[in-house]
Amino acid sequence: MAPVKVSKICCIGAGYVGGPTCAVIALKCPHIQVTIVDLNKDRIDAWNSPDFALPIYEPGLVEVVRQARGRNLFFSTDVDKGIKEADLIFVSVNTPTKKSGVGAGFAADLKYVELATRRIAEVATSSKIVVEKSTVPCRTAESMRTILEANSKPNCRFDILSNPEFLAEGTAISDLFSPDRVLIGSLQTQEGIDACQSLKQVYANWVPEERILTVGLWSSELSKLAANAMLAQRISSVNALSAICEATGANIDEVAHAIGYDSRIGPKFLKASVGFGGSCFQKDILNLVYLSESLHLPEVAAYWRQVVEMNEYQKRRFSKRVVDTLFNTITGKRIAVLGFAFKADTGDTRESAAITLIRDFQSEKALVNVYDPKVPHEQIWLDLEEASPQVPLDTIKKQVTICKSAIEACKDAEAVVIATEWKEFKEIDWEAVYASMNKPAFVFDGRLIIDAEKLRKIGFKVTTIGRPSNNQD
């Protein structure tokens, strides 16, 4: 046997991972036909839209799709056709945390992975390389292999690979163009190694060979969870320090800068904030917690659980600081929340700190104006409704107003809360904002992006995360 030369790729799932990843593969590999399939017609229609109104906001993505779409990049709802024609299939479907049953709140819900795997087995009429791209618990590939082998047609074999993504939303395209590493896991059989080489040859069209790491299947799956857990751990660690800074008079920016100079630590992911969000960090840590408990390692599970608990504590602590600073009540007061995405340069709201803050402000009977430059209004309503399941949406809409600009959101407000580090929030006409607000006018910087001293000179009372609350830097 020898590695298969890949000429046609199918990606099942047109979301945050599958869409950008396979669009870049198509761009960098013009000799390979790449088809991204999804049952969601609206999503596929958006990928195919004439004006490139893509369903995902990611800097640089439109340019990639513009160059490759219609040449060797295609988007379709015909899942079966994509499966039949492909040599290699990426499974890149959603894996949310389970909301009920065994492992609820911690384990990943693999129903979409299983459905996709069963569909491949049912439809495929020739041998395929199946690549697990979704973030999944350890040993998921074994389950996929069991399903495929039990349902495959005669003379139809499947080789399973693990190829986890390490993309940061907001920089996904540059991450794909120049990745720190590409990780490919396979069974250490000759067939598995050959399949691994087939995928490696695809990435080798633009990724230096020394950055393409080939490992065992289970090591690959665990590496993804471990990498995100380690990164989230750094954020929770610096956020824990931010609480100490506020109490002692230290400045978290100065502390982080100083410790980041240690070459063993480095400066990345040491930015204090109102808390981390996104589709991966919390989900992957909870996965690790569940795995540890399943393996009867309660101390290990408790260790990783604390990273998530610290993140939730940071959000609660920040919203309480807003209430405390506004004379211990925000009932009937208008709060402007700037930013709803979990981070800048993305429209993704999963686990966004803004959702928790607004829910807390709602519970205190405040009126909330919210503005985000990229998050669709319907997504904001969906997230707020899910965050407060006992509160009817009509009631939420009486307390929350979605605004068209930051200036509009701040008008007649008592306080401004910066929840996302969008660049435009650094460039707001703060003098105009101050003139439009009720006095005293408060600003709460949950992302360390504003010039606090400049705002104080205008007249604002400024509270910055990780700094003492005496309005002095």
Domain residue spans of the chain: 8-207, 308-464
* Fold observed for domain 308-464: Rossmann fold (3.40.50)
CATH architecture for segment(s) 8-207: 3-Layer(aba) Sandwich (3.40)
- Two tokens at 358? 């607004």
**Residues contributing to the annotated binding site for NAD(+):** 13-18, 38, 43, 93-97, 134-135, 169, 280-283, 350
- Two tokens at 303? 């260790």
Instruction: List Cα–Cα distances, 292 to 29, 67, 138, 298, 302, in angstroms.
Output: 40, 45, 11, 7, 9
How many Cβ atoms from other residues are within 10 Å of residue 316's Cβ? 13
Active site residues: 280
| 110-113: Cβ within 8 A, 24+ apart | 110/136, 110/137, 110/140, 110/143, 112/13, 113/140, 113/144
Instruction: List Cα–Cα distances, 61 to 34, 66, 262, 346, 404, in angstroms.
Output: 16, 8, 35, 11, 24
For residue 472, the model assigns a pLDDT of 46
Cβ atoms of residues 355 and 384 within 8 Å: yes
Q: How far apart, in whole angstroms, are the C-alpha atoms of residue 8 and residue 12?
A: 13
For residue 65, the model assigns a pLDDT of 98
Q: What is the dihedral of CA 102, 108, 109, 110, to 10 degrees?
A: -120
State which H helix or E strand residue 317 sits in.
helix 298-325
For residue 221, the model assigns a pLDDT of 87
For residue 143, the model assigns a pLDDT of 83
**Residues contributing to the annotated binding site for substrate:** 165-169, 224-228, 264, 271-277, 342-343, 447
Cβ atoms of residues 27 and 77 within 8 Å: no
For the chain, 473 residues long, the average pLDDT of each consecutive 10-residue run is 88 94 98 97 97 95 98 97 96 77 71 88 93 74 84 87 92 96 94 96 98 94 92 97 96 97 96 92 91 95 97 97 96 98 95 97 98 97 96 97 98 98 96 97 97 96 89 46
13 CB-side CA count, 13 A: 24
Same fold, 8-207 and 308-464: yes
Q: How far apart, in whole angstroms, are the C-alpha atoms of residue 278 and residue 352?
A: 6
Q: What is the pTM of this model?
A: 0.89
Q: Which of 196, 172, 178 is nearest to 345 (CA)?
A: 172
Residue appearing with tokens 């999503």: 43
Q: What are phi and psi of 83, to 5 degrees?
A: -65, -45
How many Cβ atoms from other residues are within 10 Å of residue 258's Cβ? 9
